[in-house]
Chains A and B, each alone.
Chain A
Amino acid sequence: MIKNVDNPALEIHDLTVSYDRKPVLWGVDLTVPVGSIAAIIGPNGAGKSTLIKSIMGLIDLSSGYSKIFGEDLNNIRFRVSYVPQKESVDWDFPASVLDVVMMGRYAAIGLFKRPRKADKEAALLALDQVGMLAFKERQISQLSGGQQQRVFLARALTQQADIYFMDEPFAGVDAATEKTIIQLLKKLATQGKTIIVVHHDLQSVNSYFDWVIMLNLRLVASGPTDEVFTTKLIEETYGGKLTLLSEVGELMKKEQFPAREK
């Protein structure tokens, strides 16, 4: 069941992504309305992070495209914010919490220029919003998992974007952080921002999200939570991989076969 909307915040059209010729996402087609908090759910290896990374242009596509607010990503990067998995960086880097949060402003500051006072103010405000202001001088290696996630979130907030892509922001965080994050996301949504989150915990889907994208190598469902987050579709999403699909994928890798004739 795939529900589409007009004037979407995010539109994905016929998106196929392969690693070493083996498709890990097959022909994904979906739209997400403006102002929604959307969850991307699915089992391990379903292609959830891959979907976000390919939207952010971090992975080459085998076919298809994605548009944000009807535009190509490169034209509206300044309205888009990306929160990578916190495990994707080395937290032993020599930097303070404030240093990392300021990085969200680097693109806006521009090449050759130093951060201005206003950038620092924006960073401090963002830290305050995630309840980390008291930690601004802390060396980042001394943070807990939840605090690291808050720092990443604060960094994203400084970008003052209209759409946020977050890769597993609730993974490995404490209950207090989870609460802070979801409150913040809901506040952003009331301001008309769109938030798309890779999510693992099925228990909280109903209370956190108003839109759900269900993936398992292909799109199983996409639509309002109360319509698509049903037992039947959850079972279809998590009920094992489609073996035929996986076998064809393996074959393409073996034969070095392109995903699309070009």
Chain B
Amino acid sequence: MKELVIDFFSFSDPNVRYVVFGSILLSVSSAIVGCFTFLKKKALVGDVISHAVLPGICLSFIFSGTKDPFLLIIGAFVTGWLSIIVMDYIIQNSKIKEDTATGLSLSVFFGLGILLLTYIQHSGNAAQSGLDSFLFGKAAALVGKDLVAFGLIAIVVLLVVFFFYKEFKLLSFDPAFAKSMGIPVKRIELILSSITVMAVVTGIQAVGVVLMAAMLITPAAAARFWTDRLPYMLLFAAIIGAFSGLTGAFISYAAPAMPTGPWIVMVVSLIAVFSFFFAPKKGIILRLFKQRKIRRRLLEENLLKSLYKIGEINDDFKLARNQAEITEMRRFTPSQLTNGLKRLRGQGFINKTNNHWSLTQEGYQKGQRVVRLHRLWELYLTKYLRIAPDHVHEDAENIEHVITPELEKKLEALLEYPEYDPHQTEIPYRQ
């Protein structure tokens, strides 16, 4: 394994070099362009273009009779581009909606492509072998000439994004405003579509028509989970693209039966799935974790509140109570009781002496605060929202856990440190 890694990363084998740099170049350029497609909510456009380049490739082969990558790219570019124009024309000039126009454009162009491909395959032209690799990609068979073409396209794509960055950003966010300022929206859209087509044309040679949409959109979708700023999103998408390109190439090198392109897509997708679950703030796992934390806090505060309210009955807050007394004040499930009390004890808010629990000074303060907030909020609701006193309890049960110390001060000042809540119960203040 170690040898394999060293062999691979020394890049001494020209074939490895071509595959690795080719994969990285195309992954990065499609990832960066894809960010704008993603933000413009045109995720499927990539799919349309990638399917629509097939007839272009076939036509250019039919007319030239060779598989010169530059000629094929030009053919691909023409039909890829045409598909976008056809799609926009249909949307603007008929009642057909965007999703239908997308599907129409995609299938008609792809159908034509398959038709031409079948014709070529049965034409007996020996040079045609390998043309079908455009369907599924042939990253592992990249050669030096491909790499030059990829490199040139990647540079063009990056330069265009660099120079039109602020226009692309504005167009993705608020095209009507851009137009109102006199920015040539149509022309800039055209430039953006053109580099999208370029990125797709490069990409399909490695991953093929079918997987190309993933190369465009997935890095952007993954990157969006990690940042709220466009420049970082572009950077992260590029890094994710590059990493996937490299890893995909390595996997297919290490396990020769493995195809490069699909592995690149697999790696990108895994990163996206990982981001979906684990990204800070937006990831599912962290959100679940946060919710669990909130549930725990609610339980703990409710337990302290109950112990405090038991204390209120006979004005002895520090006396130890058993579980039955606590559940009499408020219903807790047995596991809630056991776990909550255990955690509170660990935090130093309660003490335990032979299966009885008593509030510590800190626990007493905390329980008192929750009770105070509850009653203050009830009073606020009756006084300022004119809600009937018998309807305010449920609301306060929730709000008592949310109010911050700053809001607490504001609430107290607003209500002028009231003595009693709407049910004529005393509101406890810190001594």
Interface residues of chain A, those whose CB is within 8 Å of chain B, are: 20, 53, 56-58, 74, 77-78, 80-82, 84, 88-90, 93-96, 99-100, 103-104, 106-107, 109, 111-112, 114-115, 139, 141, 155, 159
Contacts and interface: CB of A to CB of B under 8 A. Distances in A.
Residue with the greatest number of chain B CB neighbours at <10 A, chosen from A53, A94, A103, A159? A94
Nearest to B227: A94
Contacts of B169: 95, 99, 103
B280 to A, nearest CB: 14
Given A89-B174, A94-B224, A114-B166, A159 B230 contact: no
Given A84-B174, A106-B183, 15 more contacts: A58-B179, A74-B182, A77-B182, A81-B180, A82-B181, A84-B176, A84-B180, A93-B172, A94-B230, A96-B228, A106-B178, A106-B181, A107-B182, A112-B163, A155-B177
A69 B192 CA distance: 35
Contacts of A57: 179-180
Contacts of A88: 174, 176
A106 B178 CA distance: 9
Interface residues of B, number: 27
B170 interface: yes
Contacts of A139: 228
B233 interface: yes
Nearest to B178: A106
B412 interface: no
B173 interface: yes
Contacts of B230: 93-95, 99
A80 B177 CA distance: 11
B166 A82 contact: no
A155 B178 CA distance: 12
A80 B180 contact: yes
Contacts of A141: 228
B167 interface: yes
A258 to B, nearest CB: 15
Residue with the greatest number of chain A CB neighbours at <10 A, chosen from B167, B176, B181, B224? B181
A53 B177 CA distance: 10
Given A93-B39, A94-B227, A139-B228, A107 B181 contact: yes
Contacts of A111: 163-164, 167
A58 B227 contact: no
The 5 lowest CB-CB distance pairs between A and B, nearest first, are A77-B182, A82-B180, A107-B181, A139-B228, A56-B180
Contacts of A99: 169, 229-230
Nearest to B188: A111
Nearest to A20: B95
Contacts of A77: 180-182
A104 B178 CA distance: 9
Interface in B133-184: 163-164, 166-167, 169-170, 172-174, 176-183
Given A77-B181, A82-B180, A103-B177, A96 B229 contact: yes
Given A103-B170, A106-B170, A111-B167, A94 B228 contact: yes
A20 B92 CA distance: 10
Contacts of B172: 93
A84 B181 CA distance: 12
A42 to B, nearest CB: 21
A84 B179 CA distance: 11
Residue with the greatest number of chain A CB neighbours at <10 A, chosen from B95, B172, B177? B177
Contacts of A82: 176-177, 180-181
A104 B176 CA distance: 12
B176 A58 contact: yes
B144 to A, nearest CB: 33
Contacts of A115: 166
Interface in B227-261: 227-230, 232-233
A93 B180 contact: no
A23 to B, nearest CB: 18
Contacts of B224: 94
B226 to A, nearest CB: 10
Contact of A107 (B164, B173, B183): B183
